[in-house]
């Protein structure tokens, strides 16, 4: 699933293609992709609007429009946004195309159809209560320590909670916990001050590396031009199936389910007691 580095890459690479353009028409191949408003209103309100900006909050993309509303997208499990010539034939996983007046189209590709779009004046009503942005200056080790102090859930689940911190998901949580040498089932509040500091640094490092490497191309992630990211080839534990050894100590990595998602870790480098 696209996480902060993937969505940030999409935002960065789409920006020069779309800002200043107008939406000439919209085609939906699957109406369920629009959550709000009705499909009819979505077509009529979007058509003719200019795109004045694009930003990211957590895993959401926010397209600011001339009409004082925003088009919001969430790619969920398997979504990608591709920029193609407007004449490009849509392949079978394209669920929507937003045509622009520079004769390109924004193609929303989504094999599993979990991705969603909203059109809203108040972005907060769609995005809801998200935690701090982990790469912003106001997210500090002190803030992380404060937010962890009453969390009894496994630290892996806490990091993936979008209300705790925005944008981290399964892959980058596994990578950060490995880098910080913290077992994924440790409770949030059990972390020592040193461990919180290590975790904070690890979060910064894995997310920034993910952005530098243009995201991880697992599960159908493509960059807007159709290229793959390379962040997954730098992963040390995330998504490594079957018989892989810890890159630090050569112990076989283990996989356990936490909140229905596989968590990969090294039982020796990440002991269950801190």
Q: Which of the residues are catalytic? A: 2-3, 59, 261
Degrees to nearest 5, angle at CA 9 with 5 and 10: 120
**Which parts of 201-260 interact with Zn ion (CB under 5 A)?**
246, 248-249, 251
Cβ of residue 252: shortest distance to Zn ion, in angstroms? 9
To the nearest 10°, the Cα dihedral for 132, 67, 81, 89? 170
Whether the CB-CB separation of 51 and 83 falls below 8 Å is answered with no
Size, binding site for Zn ion by CB under 5 A:
7
Cβ of residue 197: shortest distance to Zn ion, in angstroms? 20
Q: Which residues of 114-126 are buried (b: 16+ CB within 10 A; e: fewer)?
A: ebbbbbbeebeeb
Residue 182 sits in the site that holds Zn ion (CB under 5 A)? no
Whether the CB-CB separation of 219 and 198 falls below 8 Å is answered with no
Residue 268 sits in the site that holds Zn ion (CB under 5 A)? yes
Whether the CB-CB separation of 117 and 45 falls below 8 Å is answered with no
Whether the CB-CB separation of 81 and 73 falls below 8 Å is answered with yes
Cβ of residue 177: shortest distance to Zn ion, in angstroms? 12
**Which of 3, 175 has the CB closer to Zn ion?**
175
Cβ of residue 139: shortest distance to Zn ion, in angstroms? 28
Residue 177 sits in the site that holds Zn ion (CB under 5 A)? no
Cβ of residue 199: shortest distance to Zn ion, in angstroms? 17
- CA 3 to CA 232: how far, in whole Å? 12
* DSSP states along 130-188: ----TTSTT--HHHHHHHHTT--SBHHHHHH-TTTSSS--HHHHHHHHHHTT--TTSBG
Only segment of 37-45, 154-162, 195-203, 264-272 that touches Zn ion (CB under 5 A): 264-272
Residue 171 sits in the site that holds Zn ion (CB under 5 A)? no
Cβ of residue 158: shortest distance to Zn ion, in angstroms? 22
- CA 259 to CA 246: how far, in whole Å? 23
Identify the H or E element spanning 72. Answer: strand 70-74
**Interface with Zn ion (CB under 5 A):** 246, 248-249, 251, 266, 268-269
């Amino acid at each position: 699933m696209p996480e902060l580095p993937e969505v940030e890459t999409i935002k960065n690479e789409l920006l020069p293609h779309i800002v200043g353009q107008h939406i000439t028409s919209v085609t939906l191949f699957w109406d369920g992709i629009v959550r709000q408003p009705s499909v009819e209103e979505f077509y009529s309100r979007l058509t003719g609007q200019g795109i004045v900006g694009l930003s990211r909050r957590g895993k959401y993309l926010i397209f600011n429009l001339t009409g004082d509303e925003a088009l919001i997208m969430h790619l969920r499990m398997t979504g990608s946004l591709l920029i193609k010539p407007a004449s490009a034939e849509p392949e079978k996983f394209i669920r929507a195309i937003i045509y622009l007046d520079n004769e390109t189209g924004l193609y929303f590709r989504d094999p599993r159809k979990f991705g969603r779009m909203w059109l809203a004046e108040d972005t907060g009503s769609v995005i809801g209560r998200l935690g701090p942005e982990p790469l912003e200056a106001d997210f500090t080790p002190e803030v992380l320590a404060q937010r962890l102090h009453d969390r009894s859930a496994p630290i892996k689940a806490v990091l993936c909670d979008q209300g705790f911190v925005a944008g981290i998901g399964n892959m980058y949580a596994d990578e950060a916990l490995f880098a910080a040498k913290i077992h994924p089932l440790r409770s949030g509040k059990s972390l020592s001050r040193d461990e919180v500091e290590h975790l904070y640094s690890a979060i910064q490092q894995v997310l920034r590396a993910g952005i530098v490497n243009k995201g991880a191309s697992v599960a159908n992630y493509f960059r807007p031009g159709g290229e793959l990211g390379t962040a997954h080839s730098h992963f040390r534990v995330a998504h490594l199936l079957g018989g892989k050894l810890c890159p630090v100590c050569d112990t076989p990595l283990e996989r356990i389910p936490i909140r229905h998602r596989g968590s990969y870790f090294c039982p020796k480098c990440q002991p269950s007691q801190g």
